[in-house]
Structure 1
Amino acid sequence: MVHSKLLFTFSLISSIFLTACNKSEAPKVETAAAEASYKADTVRIGYQRSSTLMTLLKETGELEQQLAEKKVKVSWHEFTSGQPLAEALNVGSIDVTADVADTVPVFAQAAKANLTYYVKETASPNAQAILIPQNSSINTVADLKGKKIAVTKAAGSHYLLIAALNKAGLSFKDIEPAWLSPADGRAAFEHGGVDAWVTWEPYVSSGTVVQHAKILASGEGLASYTRYYLTGHKFAQENPAILNDIVNALKEKAAWVKQNPDDAAKVLAPLWGNLPTEVVLKANANRSYDVQGVVLDDMPEQQKIADAFFNEKLIPNTIDAKSSDIYPLK
């Protein structure tokens, strides 16, 4: 197994079908290890509501069934966003994360966290956006100057906001950020507590369909929004077979979602707070659900994100993204 070595220690502050239908075919992956290992008897998985594939696996119990055959149990832990997920991974409260925005590992690396990239969902730039109220006088990103904007710290939407502001000749100093979780951001947006809200799916589609919000800017041309799955160095080294099984399950579920969008929406709607099916369909259409191994060619974009955060003095130091620990998949 080839691992680029980067040891992190980290402390960040702050804080998902029906039973076994026809399984979609998806290519299997194998680790580079000569022999698969099931050293752990339990795998603790952290996820958030936007973690579509993991949420579906949790709902169906498919992953538990597969790993139970190997005498491995699964425990599930829900988080509000990616940053607390990474924190929990670093302190050893969970073993693997579901997908988090590309910004999350950057913040973690800047804080010298213990993490390994083990798989990704390829870019989905339209799955995040800057929303404004239907009757807003804001017409361009430049009009955000001096405005109060709801954004989740370290989320992909955080980088989208930076990139959009920079393109408009502004910086973070030109706006008033309101650091809010997705749920709190939605509440503030609904009640007029903020002038704009930067968020991700399914909140973007919920905002445009339910609240009739307008999209001021999406990530297209600004932020690629690749979503990464993370684990710890030691867990990756000792449990390649568990990671292998998780990746295969993710690939199968991703294929099912893309081939059965209506069925997927019916399952997800109640899990996402009884959202209208229309919202879930729209949200899923904006996500790639293309599960692939992480490669060094992904790192220049990570470096770009890190440099942007450093320039805005949002992380204490820049990073060397190409030195990130990457778990190899064949």
Structure 2
Amino acid sequence: MKRREFLKLSLGSAAVAALSGRASAEGGVKEIRIGYQKNGVLVIARQRAILENHFKPQGIEVKWVEFSSGPPLMEAMNVGSIDYGAVGDSPPIFAQAAGAAIVYAAAQPIINGSGILVPQNSAIAGIADLKGKRVGFTKGSSAHNVVIQTLEKAGLTYDDITPVYLTPPDAGPAFGNGSIDAWAIWDPYFAIGETKQNGRILVNTSEVTKTNSFYIANCDFANNHGRVLQQIVDVTSATADWAQAHPDEVAKSLAAVTGVPLDIQTIAAKRAGFSVAPISADIIATQQGVADRFFKLGLIPKQVVVRDIVWRNSQT
């Protein structure tokens, strides 16, 4: 039976650990530190203890570290504080430009669950109306890319808006009290803005651009513990397959781990797409386009070649 098929059959039970007969002498790994945000497959894996069940027989513990957005998660990974984590498309580009010790381990195509919100009573009716407006988003996050490509779609430039760099916890209140005119954000904050802060969707990301989120690993961890990293990716992928078929249970898992209300996480879960994929040539090309755009705008200090930090497992 293939590794992934076995995972699917045993997902959520201790039997998943039988996937590999490798001993805990896997390069001396005793602990895997995983960075996560308030959404996505890793939250589900944490709530259901999927990785813990898999690695316990190998004598490897799993530690979870929460982050509010991708940029600080990348900083932690660069200094070796975490080994693996999930982020949007932009954080690894900024990190690579800064020389961070990271690699792309896997990808997840984004279908829904992010975009730009404006207040219900806002005079902003279309993308072109963003000209001269204060647009809030997290610098270096996937929302940063969404803003740039949305502006391009309407023939606007980055200089046509006033970017207001805010973390999601700070941007929510700013949006609610009118300190910013629009908010580029992802779920579950996207759903919170819609339902709790009187937001109206100006544009969904899928209407503007093709985008991906990524599973990133610390470079040293990937180079030294490729077999362990492959197992993490396989478990992540199997968890995503389960999530795709169980949106209601996904919402409960997300709410339990993050503290975000169930009704909000239900909205997010039912419009999300869960599918973990290898880093294909098409995904690399899409990501390279994002990197080139950031460099052209002067948002990163040097050009980067995405392909250079795509992990290829040599420990098979």
Partner of residue 270, structure 2: 285
Q: Deviations over 1:172-229 (max 9, x none)?
A: 2111111111111111111111101000111112222233311111112423231111
1:237 to 223, 231, 245: 223
**Equivalences for 1:24-173 in 2 at 5 Å?**
37-50=26-39, 52-97=40-85, 99-124=86-111, 126-173=112-159
Change in CA separation of 1:113 and 1:72 when aligned onto 2, cut-off 3 Å: same
Partner of residue 318, structure 1: 303
Q: Deviations over 1:114-173 (max 9, x none)?
A: 11111111232x321110000001111111111111111111111010011112121121
Q: Secondary structure at the match of 2:132?
A: coil
Partner of residue 6, structure 2: none
Q: Secondary structure at the match of 1:215?
A: strand
Partner of residue 196, structure 1: 182
CA contact (8 A) 2:168 2:189 kept: yes
Change in CA separation of 1:298 and 1:328 when aligned onto 2, cut-off 3 Å: farther
Unaligned 5+ runs, structure 2? 1-9
Distance, in Å, in 2 between the alignment partners of 1:291 and 1:161 is 25
Instruction: Please state if 1:273 is matched with 2:262.
Output: no
Partner of residue 3, structure 1: none
Distance, in Å, in 1 between the alignment partners of 2:240 and 2:58 is 23
Q: TM-score with structure 1 length normalisation?
A: 0.84
CA contact (8 A) 2:211 2:286 kept: no
Distance, in Å, in 1 between the alignment partners of 2:305 and 2:60 is 35
Distance, in Å, in 1 between the alignment partners of 2:235 and 2:12 is 14
Deviation at 1:61, TM superposition (A): 2.2
Partner of residue 15, structure 1: none
Structure with greater helix percent: 2
CA contact (8 A) 1:117 1:327 kept: no
Change in CA separation of 1:114 and 1:296 when aligned onto 2, cut-off 3 Å: farther
Deviation at 1:37, TM superposition (A): 3.5
CA contact (8 A) 2:38 2:254 kept: no
Which one has more relative contact order, counting CA pairs under 8 Å at least 6 apart?
A: 1
Partner of residue 171, structure 2: 185
Cα RMSD for the two superposed structures: 2.5
Distance, in Å, in 1 between the alignment partners of 2:194 and 2:255 is 16
Partner of residue 293, structure 2: 308
What is the number of residues matched between the two proteins? 300
Q: TM-score with structure 2 length normalisation?
A: 0.87
Deviation at 1:21, TM superposition (A): 8.0
Distance, in Å, in 1 between the alignment partners of 2:147 and 2:280 is 26
Distance, in Å, in 2 between the alignment partners of 1:253 and 1:302 is 24
Deviation at 1:22, TM superposition (A): 6.0
Unaligned 5+ runs, structure 1? 1-19, 31-35
Distance, in Å, in 1 between the alignment partners of 2:110 and 2:53 is 30
Partner of residue 214, structure 2: 228
Distance, in Å, in 1 between the alignment partners of 2:252 and 2:32 is 28
Partner of residue 16, structure 1: none
Q: Secondary structure at the match of 1:119?
A: strand
- Residue 204 of structure 1 aligns with an amino acid whose one-letter code is F
CA contact (8 A) 2:101 2:220 kept: no
CA contact (8 A) 1:151 1:199 kept: yes
Distance, in Å, in 1 between the alignment partners of 2:157 and 2:198 is 28
